[in-house]
């Protein structure tokens, strides 16, 4: 067995969702919406299955989907892309991240990451032969100073992986933060792998800015998007890699030996969905905003303190601020077993001991599920505070 993987623990998402199933607990842990996404997009996939073809599509993705990605980002994201040379379709955003890292990172390279971070980054960096170098973001606004960011860049730094909006903190890197990272990338000749899968889930007036648009970054950014996040259909696993031609070529060569291609009927349906007008995406954000407000208000009424949420469909509870002395991992395990609600401890998003006072909740749920979750969390607070 490869020790790089055999030593890795089971992901916290699998553990908590498994416990939720075993105990019948309300699952506010793993990040998936409770509905199944836009009906017309699903109908487009069903029609494509019946109409065919159902054989291998082109390795880089159906031309119709690559064109739709370029059109969508040009219309709604302010990013101009050539669908022929700057877009590759992958089997989900995690595969896109893996392909990007394998394309860019060589043994001995260093890769800057921002903690807390999506748990796939560090193992994939190591699989590519690199070493992750972490910049720790400071709550409640999840920021870092210029000096802290600059100290992470060395002569061996080859890439930086950033995620905005950021899972799990629900924060958004503003233009100033992106410009600071961009300045260091240009100065050190570094490639930015920009995980922007939550780009459409920005709330409370926050704005998403792609790293592709940051100063000096058009030719040194690999932007990653996700149909699963855009349409709330996390099981579809259709990702987009957008980058200048030379970077796209390198990522595509890695992608061809990972999954090679992605189901054609899903690609056709995503192409259809990306053509929806801005009103669809506005309505989606408004729906998430209502759910966030419901969860925030309900938790506040029960004595919980939550952190700001500018993006993603996650809300974080400050355990210490809420009068709970338990570390986040212990709270999460006891809450699912004793109070009937599954949450995710933020300490799971650090490679080494990190913040142990926050737990993450997913609010992309029906009202009744959120209400049951609030009731169960109130029970947990009564038991543990």
Residue with tokens 């990306």: 274
Residue with tokens 């599954």: 342
CB 298 within 8 A of CB 370: yes
Percent helix, strand, coil in the chain, to 5, is 45, 15, 40
Q: Write the CB contacts of 61 (distance below 8 Å, at least 6 apart in sequence).
A: 87, 88, 89, 261, 262, 267
Show the CA angle centred on residue 127, arms to residues 123 and 129, nearest 5°.
120
**pLDDT of amino acid 6:** 58
d(CA 365, CA 14): 18
CATH class of 3-30+279-384: alpha beta
Q: Domain ranges in the chain?
A: 3-30+279-384, 39-276
**pLDDT of amino acid 5:** 59
CATH 3.40.605.10 fits 39-276, yes or no: no
First vs last Cα of the chain: how many Å apart? 44
What b/e sequence results for 282-317 when a residue is b if at least 16 CB atoms lie within 10 Å of its CB, and e otherwise?
A: eebbeebbebbebbeebbeeeebbbbbbbbbbbbbb
pLDDT tens digits, one per residue of 317-361? 999 999 999 999 999 999 999 999 999 999 999 988 777 899 999
Per-residue pLDDT for the chain (385 aa), expressed as one digit of tens each?
Answer: 566 555 666 788 888 889 889 999 999 998 899 999 999 999 999 999 999 999 999 999 999 999 999 999 999 999 999 999 999 999 999 999 999 999 999 999 999 999 999 999 999 999 999 999 999 999 999 999 999 999 999 999 999 999 999 999 999 999 999 999 999 999 999 999 999 999 999 999 999 999 999 999 999 999 999 999 999 999 999 999 999 999 999 999 999 999 999 999 999 999 999 999 999 999 999 999 999 999 999 999 999 999 999 999 999 999 999 999 999 999 999 999 999 999 999 999 998 877 789 999 999 999 999 999 999 999 999 999 8
pLDDT tens digits, one per residue of 248-307? 999 999 999 999 999 999 999 999 999 999 999 999 999 999 999 999 999 999 999 999
């Amino acid at each position: 067995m490869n020790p790089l993987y055999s030593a890795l623990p089971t992901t916290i998402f699998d553990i908590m969702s498994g416990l939720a199933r075993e105990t019948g607990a309300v699952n506010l842990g793993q990040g998936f919406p409770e509905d199944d996404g836009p009906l017309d997009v699903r109908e487009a996939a069903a029609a494509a299955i019946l109409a065919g073809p159902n054989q291998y599509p082109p390795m880089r993705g159906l031309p119709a989907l690559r064109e739709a990605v370029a059109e969508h980002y040009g219309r709604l994201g302010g990013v101009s892309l050539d669908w022929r040379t700057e877009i590759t379709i992958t089997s989900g955003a995690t595969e896109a991240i893996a392909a990007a890292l394998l394309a860019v990172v060589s043994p001995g390279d260093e890769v800057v990451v921002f903690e807390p971070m999506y748990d796939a980054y560090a193992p994939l960096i190591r699989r590519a032969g690199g070493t992750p170098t972490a910049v720790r973001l400071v709550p409640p606004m999840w920021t870092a100073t210029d000096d802290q960011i600059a100290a992470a860049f060395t002569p061996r730094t080859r890439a930086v992986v950033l995620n905005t909006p950021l899972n799990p903190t629900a924060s958004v890197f503003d233009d100033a933060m992106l410009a600071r990272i961009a300045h260091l990338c240009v100065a050190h000749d570094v490639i930015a792998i920009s995980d922007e899968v939550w780009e459409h889930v920005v709330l409370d007036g926050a704005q998403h800015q792609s790293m592709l648009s940051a100063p000096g970054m058009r030719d040194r950014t690999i932007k990653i998007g996700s149909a699963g996040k855009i349409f709330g259909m996390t099981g579809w696993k259709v990702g987009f890699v957008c980058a200048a031609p030379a970077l796209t070529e390198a990522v595509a060569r890695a992608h061809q030996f990972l999954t090679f291609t992605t189901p054609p009927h899903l690609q056709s349906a995503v192409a259809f969905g990306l053509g929806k007008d801005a009103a669809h995406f506005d309505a989606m954000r408004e729906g998430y905003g209502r759910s966030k407000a419901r969860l925030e208000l309900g938790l506040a009424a029960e004595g919980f303190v939550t952190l700001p949420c500018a993006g993603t469909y996650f809300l974080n509870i400050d355990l210490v601020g809420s009068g709970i002395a338990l570390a986040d991992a212990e709270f999460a395990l006891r809450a699912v077993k004793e109070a009937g609600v599954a949450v995710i401890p933020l300490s799971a998003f650090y490679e080494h001991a990190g913040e142990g006072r926050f737990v993450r909740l997913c609010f992309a749920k029906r009202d009744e599920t959120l209400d049951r979750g609030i009731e169960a969390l109130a029970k947990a607070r009564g038991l543990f505070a």
